[in-house]
Amino acid sequence: MRQIILLVLVLSSIDFCFGQTPEIDRLFERGEVKEVKQRLKNNQFSPNNKLLIKANYFNFTKQLNEGFKTLAKLDTLDLTTDQKAYYFNILGDLYDRNTNYDLAVNHLQRAQELFLKTGHELRYNEINLDLFYILLEGDFIGERTNYLDLYAKTARKLNNSNQLANLQIELAFNSLDTLDNSAFLNYFDKAFYYNSLDKNPLTYGMLNAYKALFYIDVEFNKDSANAYLQKSLKIYEDLNLPNKSLLIYINFSEVERIQGNYKASINYLKQANNYRNLSYDYDLTAFNYELLAQDYKALGQYDSAYYYLDASMKYRDSLNIEKQNIALTRFETERKEKQNLILRQKNERQQNLIYASLSGFVVVVFVSFLVYKNIKRKQLIAEQSTEIQFQKNQQLLKEQELKSVDAMLKGQDKERKRIASDLHDQVGGNLASINAYFSVLKDQISDQSQRDVFNTTYNLLSQTYKDIRALAHKNNGGISAEKSLVRSLNELKQTISQLHNIQVNLSVFNSEIQLPSYIEVSLFRIIQELSTNTIKHAEATQLDINLNVYESSVNIIIEDNGKGFEPEQLKTSGMGLSSIQKRVEELGGTFDIDAKLGRGSTFIINVNYD
């Protein structure tokens, strides 16, 4: 198991991605992809450079299908030599990540040739290390150049601190073949020294992660391993690299698993789930669920073990579908590349024919070409005007739709508050008065049998008054057009904690992402209903609400430490779970329950949105 985790972290942490300018190259090298994304939004690049940087962003964040699609939009005949070098570099990296190693080697070697032509020796040498890692896989058929020696020689020649630090990392891992572990630590001391000169945060995070793995897999030391993992986690979270943070939590769980602390291991694995992106992180999600299944099995909780094993298999199926989609996109990229090559050869033949046989008509051809370009320019302007008008109309319709939704939400909120006010002020007031009169009459009844009937009636009346007050408060609270989902959840948390003596923990990930109004209202009502069920039925002392927001999906996990229940009650019980499931399905989402008598309940909600 430890070797598997080591391999996953090593292959997932080495991201030598590059852009189209030295400044963008440096941002990718340092893992500062948030800044890259912001500069793409500012649109400060030429069309071809923007597509290349965008493709490299998808490559860095493991969105392989989007990376291939973006490269397919480029016309390679229109690229400069420098741009072609980056094109083949990124394409080779995508093939490498998709385990198409022969194609990866072919394109990376073409990129190396072009980088040498343009004097980019630093980029050329980074590819030497990429090729070294590919050959480690053992599936490559062809000449096996010692790329690590080439990388070492060139790195020393260039005296590049970051490349020298990465060289020490590889020398350290090679030294593990000997019985002397001190060599490994000496190489890492040198790597930390070179990184102190370069101050690359991504490399520094990798160094701490690898050092932690040494104390997990080679010389087990829990305190040292956790200390280096904490350093690496802080760096990856500062860089906003969720994939790498997820892997750090998996290694935290491995430290506990080695010592047999399966509950602590499960806690770390569930924290790791907060960092996955359900749009494309199928492999990491499946791997995480496999580990959860193993830990629950070790604890003898076979129902939970089966649940996570089944979930893992579902994500494996999704991963296979994603690979099929990537294969289709890759085929389109290759087909376009071949078409461009054929077109280039055809153009060259036609050009030679024109020069040989139509030299006397150069002036006529030139004039005709100017006329043609003028016509095409006018046609393009007309098409662009039509497209701009269409986009304006679409934006107007969207704004009107949003206004309608906001108006509807405000109306619903106003009506709920009116009803709540009527219940509290009129019906509640009348019941309070009746209750007071009954209290007076209670002391005037002497007959014991009549007193018993009166006491029963009095108690029912008091309970009805309390129920109406609670209903009024519930309808008068919640989310509205003026409140955000996070703010409403904080108010719900305070209300539950104050009125029901339950500790409520609220965790929100990516709270800055704005959800559509109808999604926020529906999700709040769902969370409110599940919290009410916990209060009424679970006998819990702690309630955990986890809200994880992504650019196109929302994940909610609600857990309590109550008495639990059998999930079959969803079909037979009136706990409100059926109505909650119906609400989630109306949003196009999924609603999963992990519960068992005696060990609390977990509710998992996933909703995708545009």
The answer to whether the CB of 591 falls within 8 A of the CB of 603 is yes
- E strands of 106-260, at which residues? none
Q: Using 50, 70 and 90 to split pLDDT, how confident is the model at 280?
A: low
Q: Is the pLDDT of residue 426 over 50?
A: yes
Cite the DSSP H helix spans in 199-241: 201-213, 222-238
| pLDDT score for 13 | 42
Amino acid identity for residue 358 in this structure = L
**What percent of the chain shows pLDDT beyond 90?**
31
Q: Is the pLDDT of residue 324 over 60?
A: no
Q: How far apart are CA 242 and CA 304, in angstroms?
A: 26
Average pLDDT over residues 245-256: 94
Strand order in the sheet with 503-509: 503-509, 542-549, 553-560, 601-608, 590-595
Q: Using 50, 70 and 90 to split pLDDT, how confident is the model at 98?
A: confident
Tokens standing for residue 578: 């059926």
Q: Is the pLDDT of residue 276 over 80?
A: no
Pick from 23-37, 176-190, 234-248, 409-423: least confident: 409-423
Q: Best-predicted range by mean pLDDT among 175-189, 202-216, 343-357, 371-385? A: 202-216
The answer to whether the CB of 239 falls within 8 A of the CB of 233 is no
| pLDDT score for 263 | 95
**What percent of the chain shows pLDDT beyond 70?**
72
Beta bridge mates, 592:
604
Pick from 25-34, 324-333, 592-601: least confident: 324-333
Q: How far apart are CA 524 and CA 489, in angstroms?
A: 7
What pTM did the predictor assign? 0.53
Tokens standing for residue 574: 């009136």
Q: How far apart are CA 86 and CA 64, in angstroms?
A: 16
Tokens 């009169």 correspond to what residue? 437
Q: Is the pLDDT of residue 142 over 60?
A: no
Q: How far apart are CA 505 and CA 497, in angstroms?
A: 10
Question: Which has more confidence, 140 or 435?
Answer: 435
Within 13 Å and on the Cβ side, how many CA atoms surround 273?
A: 24
Residue extent(s) of CATH 1.25.40.10 domains in the chain: 2-262
| pLDDT score for 144 | 58
| Cβ-Cβ contacts under 8 Å for 467 (sequence gap 6 or more) | none
What confidence tens digit (pLDDT) does each residue in 68-96 have? 889 889 888 889 999 999 999 999 998 88
Average pLDDT over residues 478-503: 78
| pLDDT score for 33 | 85
Pair type for strands 601-608 and 553-560? antiparallel
Radius of gyration of the chain (CA): 32
Average pLDDT over residues 141-158: 84
Q: Is the pLDDT of residue 317 over 70?
A: no
**Diameter of the chain by CA atoms?**
128
| pLDDT score for 493 | 85
Average pLDDT over residues 574-592: 82
Per DSSP, 423 falls in state I
| pLDDT score for 516 | 84
Q: How far apart are the first and last CA of the chain?
A: 38
Pick from 124-128, 191-195, 440-444: least confident: 440-444
Phi-psi region of 159 (alpha: psi -120 to 50; beta: other; left: phi over 0): left
> 164 to each of 34, 127, 188, 525, how far by Cα in Å?
26, 14, 11, 55
> 10 to each of 265, 289, 380, 405, how far by Cα in Å?
21, 20, 49, 48
| pLDDT score for 2 | 43
| pLDDT score for 17 | 53
**Angle made by CA atoms 533, 534, 536, in degrees to the nearest 5:** 65
Question: 3-state secondary structure string, 352-400?
Answer: HHHHHHCHHHHHHHHHHHHHHHHHHHHHHHHHHHHHHHHHHHHHHHHHH
Q: Is the pLDDT of residue 507 over 60?
A: yes
Average pLDDT over residues 480-484: 60
Question: Which has more confidence, 444 or 37?
Answer: 37
For the 483-610 domain, the top CATH level (class) is: alpha beta
The answer to whether the CB of 185 falls within 8 A of the CB of 169 is no
Average pLDDT over residues 499-521: 85
**Angle made by CA atoms 171, 176, 182, in degrees to the nearest 5:** 85
Pick from 21-30, 126-135, 463-472, 517-526: least confident: 463-472
Pick from 252-256, 412-416, 456-460, 529-533: least confident: 412-416
| pLDDT score for 368 | 72
| pLDDT score for 407 | 57
What confidence tens digit (pLDDT) does each residue in 353-408 have? 566 566 667 766 776 777 677 787 777 777 777 777 877 776 666 556 545 545 55
CB-count exposure of residue 592 (10 Å: 0-12, 13-18, 19+): middle
Residue extent(s) of CATH 3.30.565.10 domains in the chain: 483-610
Q: Is the pLDDT of residue 169 over 50?
A: yes
CATH code for residues 2-262: 1.25.40.10
Q: Is the pLDDT of residue 238 over 80?
A: yes
φ and ψ at residue 608, rounded to 5 degrees: -100, 150
What confidence tens digit (pLDDT) does each residue in 548-570 have? 988 888 999 999 998 888 877 65
Q: Is the pLDDT of residue 454 over 60?
A: yes
Average pLDDT over residues 575-593: 84
Average pLDDT over residues 96-107: 87
| pLDDT score for 12 | 45
Beta bridge mates, 547:
508, 556
The answer to whether the CB of 289 falls within 8 A of the CB of 315 is yes
Pick from 182-196, 204-218, 334-348: least confident: 334-348
Tally DSSP H helices, then E strands, for the chain. 24, 5
CB-count exposure of residue 273 (10 Å: 0-12, 13-18, 19+): buried
Closest CA to 523 of 601, 609, 421, 595: 609
| pLDDT score for 436 | 63
Q: Is the pLDDT of residue 410 over 50?
A: yes
Q: Using 50, 70 and 90 to split pLDDT, how confident is the model at 14?
A: very low
Average pLDDT over residues 202-212: 94
Q: Is the pLDDT of residue 189 over 80?
A: yes
| Chain mean pLDDT for the chain | 79
Q: How far apart are CA 563 and CA 537, in angstroms?
A: 8
